[in-house]
Amino acid sequence: MVLASTAFDVSSQSNFVAYWGQSSAGSQKSLGEYCGDSSIDVIVMAFLYQFPNTKLDLSATCRSTFPGSELLHCPDVAADIKKCQSQGKAVILSMGGAAGAYGFSSDDDGRKYADTVWDMFLGGSGSQRPFDDAVLDGVDLDIEGGSTAGYAAYVAQLRSHFEASSDKKYYITGAPQCPFPDAMLGSTLNSAWFDMVFVQFYNNFCGLDAYPQGFNYGQWDTWAKSQSANKNVKLYIGAPGSQSAAGRGYVDASTINSIASDIRSKYTSFGGVMTWDASQAFDASSWGQSVSSALKSGGSKKR
């Protein structure tokens, strides 16, 4: 198994996270090409859109499957994952998304699927691994439909695998909508241990376009410090990477840089900015590079 670089710092306040794998701009570069950009600290691969009957999408980046199966087999993506990790980036697999057939019927279902994910994508040894011997750095929950059952048990079971493995650090992240509490992940966020939470401040009344009066980062900060299982959880401002990346909530780079600077000066929970998605944020506008540069020039931690 190939292990990740230890360069990624989850405690930083200057991390830039990009979702990749859905070609939301109409096309996308390879994972390896995006990882060649020093602006990005974490890449979240989208999506494991069907579970517990596992199906991946990655929007045509990979089309080959295991014999007799619909499960994608992606050696080229595996090589890119290793490249990203060799450059100190964390690579995480996102489960769910806005479209897909997914969910658990019970806690037992969640625990069983955690074992499956460990063996297929993380430090286990499954017979069919979509990314071969590449070991991902964690799992993201972008749960936008289906049942709310089983996710806390799923996270707890994954964490039991993490604790039993001393090889590397793994992360659990979540991507709730900004209205608090999140309809799908609210109870899971309160009971399970998350390392990073990428709050989607777009497509809702509480988004970036409502800053400052209607922007509810403070509500999420209160949750992080008083209700979260991990009182040191890092919160990210989730932002569309271009006007076409969301129905509402896009702001230009100078505006989000100002918002991020204000939030970082007030809240120790701030971890950086997340964007949907790489194909939009890293186009000719260089929105992603500008936002990441501003984060990093502002220092890595709140003083």
pLDDT 10s digits, 231-278: 999 999 999 999 999 999 999 999 999 999 999 999 999 999 999 999
Average pLDDT, the chain: 94
What local confidence, expressed as pLDDT, does residue 298 receive?
84
Radius of gyration of the chain measured on its C-alpha atoms: 18
Nearest 5°: phi and psi at 2? -95, 125
Please state, as a whole number, how many other Cβ atoms lie within 10 Å of the Cβ of residue 68: 6
Asked if 250 and 242 count as a contact pair (C-beta separation under 8 A), the reply is yes
pLDDT above 80: residue 100: yes
What local confidence, expressed as pLDDT, does residue 2 receive?
38
pLDDT above 70: residue 6: no
pLDDT 10s digits, 143-202: 999 999 999 999 999 999 999 998 899 999 999 999 999 999 999 999 999 999 999 999
Query: Mapping DSSP to helix (H, G, I), strand (E, B) and coil, where does residue 171 land?
Result: strand
Please state, as a whole number, how many other Cβ atoms lie within 10 Å of the Cβ of residue 212: 10
What span, in angstroms and rounded, lies between the C-alpha atoms of 92 and 171?
8
Place of tokens 């918002």: 259
pLDDT above 80: residue 83: yes
pLDDT band, very low/low/confident/very high, at 3 (cuts 50, 70, 90): very low
Asked if 201 and 193 count as a contact pair (C-beta separation under 8 A), the reply is no
Asked if 298 and 10 count as a contact pair (C-beta separation under 8 A), the reply is no
pLDDT above 80: residue 27: yes
Determine what percent of the chain is predicted with pLDDT higher than 90: 92
Which run of H or E residues covers position 44?
strand 42-51
Global pTM reads 0.95
Which residues are the active-site residues? 144
pLDDT above 70: residue 301: no
